[in-house]
Structure 1
Amino acid sequence: MTDEPVLLTEQSGHVRTLTLNRPHRKNAITRDLWAALRGELHHAAKDSDVRAVILTGSGGSFCSGADISDAAGMDEFPDPSREMNAINDVVQLLHDLPVPTVAKVRGVAAGAGWNLALGCDLVVATPDARFCQIFTRRALSPDCGGSWLLPRLVGLQQAKRLALLAETIDADEARGLGLVTWVRPEDAIDTFVEELAVRLASGPPLALAQTKALLNAGTVRTLSESLAEETRAQAVNLTGADVIEAFAAFAEKRAPVFTGTPGG
């Protein structure tokens, strides 16, 4: 065992990296790790210095899911909904986070671990990454947002295949299904993800936050509802400082410097 924190945090410029840090258990998530994730996502949502978040795991694995060997048993919490609420808080925070998120996946991403990766806006994996909706192997049903995410990403039939059979798929198949955005070699993934996060963090914060929210909600809105929300979002953008900066940078043939300053 180790006295190291179960979640490592690192800030580089405007990019915050959260690293699941239980390598001896392939970063399986305990109550302490759920709580740490919940706290760090709360902080990231409120910290104006954070403009992009990377979620990854230590020791060559992303996350093998919830740790079913966690010392405290069900007797301590006879109402399972209390356990699920801790997970649901993290899922909702990740979904609502107003900055872009990138999952960097090596090795195994299973169960709740895979769904945490799918909850990020973009997913980058190494060729050795393996993905599994492992729940039914444990006589469980999907959680951590899997029942909502999978059908929206791959369609209902493929979602049922992945969830009912609990098959393990590789990075190439996951990319083909639209569950991984990019596959990058082991010796290139760190640089690729860092550069990607810097690009995202350099974007206009207000516009990126509203773009993310519009896309997240678009699948459950009607066209008329989406048009109304686009109008609202664009009105906010047009009163902010970043639009003025974007137009000025275009005219002056230079790169824009966005601040996310809202309009008065």
Structure 2
Amino acid sequence: MRHPDAESDELLIDRDGPVVTVTFNRPHRRNAFTTAMYDALRSEVDALADDTRVRAVVLRGAGGAFAAGNDIGEFAAMTSGAEAVAYEARVQELLGSLSALPQVTIAAVDGLCVGGGLAVATCCDLRIATASSRFGYPIARTLGNALSRALLERCVHVFGESLTRQMLLTSRLVDADRAYTIGALLAVCPSRAELDTEVASVVEGVLQAAPLTLRATKQQLGAITATDPAGRADDDALLEQVYGSAGFREGVRAFLAKEPPRFADVEASEPPAS
């Protein structure tokens, strides 16, 4: 077992020859990501980028969840929309690097996979899940924030536009069977043990395949699905408006207080954006 830094108890890295397994290890918080976890994951991804010895990377969560978004307590310290946009940009850099890894990346999902967890899973090449797993971005009913354009596009690529609209506009979660039906999952497994078996089988197939073929294919697919940089400035302005709103502040307050957010009340009292 190898640990990247002092925060390694929340991000476990195991290397077994050509296979690296990354485990999100905050089960008491359903593995919600902290900045330290993102930084540790970024360090590992950067180290893997030029490591030709590694052929497959498996990402998974401990304790019956993949990852339930981000640690909302960190948002409470942000006082402006610009701070949140900068936070999103750092996360997006990590996710872009994860997507660009030359190795085949596999999200092994057991349980809740929402928010930042779904962002990570959709940036992997393959997703395998247990039957009890659920996916979504219920942000319109929880925090009142918004996805970056890059994450939205990635979700559309994986789940399709129609289901992405349903996830975001209704805040409903998608079950594993439906995700499998539309091709977002490679397989659905009845139990965690069978998930482990299926992941091992897929990894074995990757190790038997031609490395250069897989790398070339990933480069080609990455070029096809790359986000258009021309829309970045408009996207940042939109995110700053949402994250700087009274609605978002209410979402964070209510989440931490374990209360239903009163979006309509606070946004009705906020002057319209000019």
TM-score range, shorter chain: 0.7 to 0.9
Judge which range, 20-29 or 197-206, deviates more: 197-206
User: What is the Cα deviation at residue 81 of structure 1?
Assistant: 2.5
Percent identical pairs in the alignment equals 33
The amino acid of 1:189's aligned partner reads L
How far apart, in 1, do the equivalents of 2:226 and 2:114 lie?
27
How far apart, in 2, do the equivalents of 1:4 and 1:139 lie?
31
Could you report, residue by residue, the CA deviation over 1:70-117 in whole angstroms, capped at 9, with x for unpaired residues? 387114996223211220111111110011110000010011111211
Equivalent residue for 1:163, pick from 146, 150, 168 = 168
How far apart, in 1, do the equivalents of 2:68 and 2:157 lie?
23
Q: Is 1:210 the equivalent of 2:216?
A: yes
User: What is the Cα deviation at residue 145 of structure 1?
Assistant: 4.0
- Note if contact 1:115-1:145 (Cα within 8 Å) is conserved in structure 2: no
How far apart, in 1, do the equivalents of 2:26 and 2:219 lie?
32
Identify the residue that residue 83 of structure 1 maps to in structure 2. 87
Aligned to 2:38, what secondary structure does the other structure show?
Answer: helix
More relative contact order, 1 or 2 (CA 8 Å, 6+ apart): 2
Aligned to 1:70, what secondary structure does the other structure show?
Answer: helix
After superposition, the CA RMSD in angstroms is 2.2
Q: Runs in 1 of length 4+ with deviation above 3 angstroms? A: 75-78
The amino acid of 2:30's aligned partner reads K
Aligned to 2:139, what secondary structure does the other structure show?
Answer: helix
How far apart, in 2, do the equivalents of 1:72 and 1:220 lie?
32
Identify the residue that residue 70 of structure 1 maps to in structure 2. 74
How far apart, in 1, do the equivalents of 2:149 and 2:221 lie?
20
1:91-130 aligned within 5 A: 91-130=95-134
- Note if contact 1:35-1:86 (Cα within 8 Å) is conserved in structure 2: no
How far apart, in 1, do the equivalents of 2:139 and 2:148 lie?
8
How far apart, in 1, do the equivalents of 2:150 and 2:38 lie?
14
Aligned to 1:48, what secondary structure does the other structure show?
Answer: coil
Equivalent residue for 1:7, pick from 6, 11, 36 = 11
Could you report, residue by residue, the CA deviation over 1:198-217 in whole angstroms, capped at 9, with x for unpaired residues? 22133222221111121232
Equivalent residue for 2:204, pick from 195, 198, 202 = 198
TM-score (norm 1): 0.77
- Note if contact 2:56-2:203 (Cα within 8 Å) is conserved in structure 1: yes
The amino acid of 1:163's aligned partner reads L
Q: How many residue pairs get matched?
A: 219
TM-score (norm 2): 0.74
Change (3 A) 1:153 1:33: same
- Note if contact 2:8-2:40 (Cα within 8 Å) is conserved in structure 1: no
Identify the residue that residue 32 of structure 1 maps to in structure 2. 36
How far apart, in 1, do the equivalents of 2:148 and 2:47 lie?
24
- Note if contact 1:135-1:163 (Cα within 8 Å) is conserved in structure 2: yes
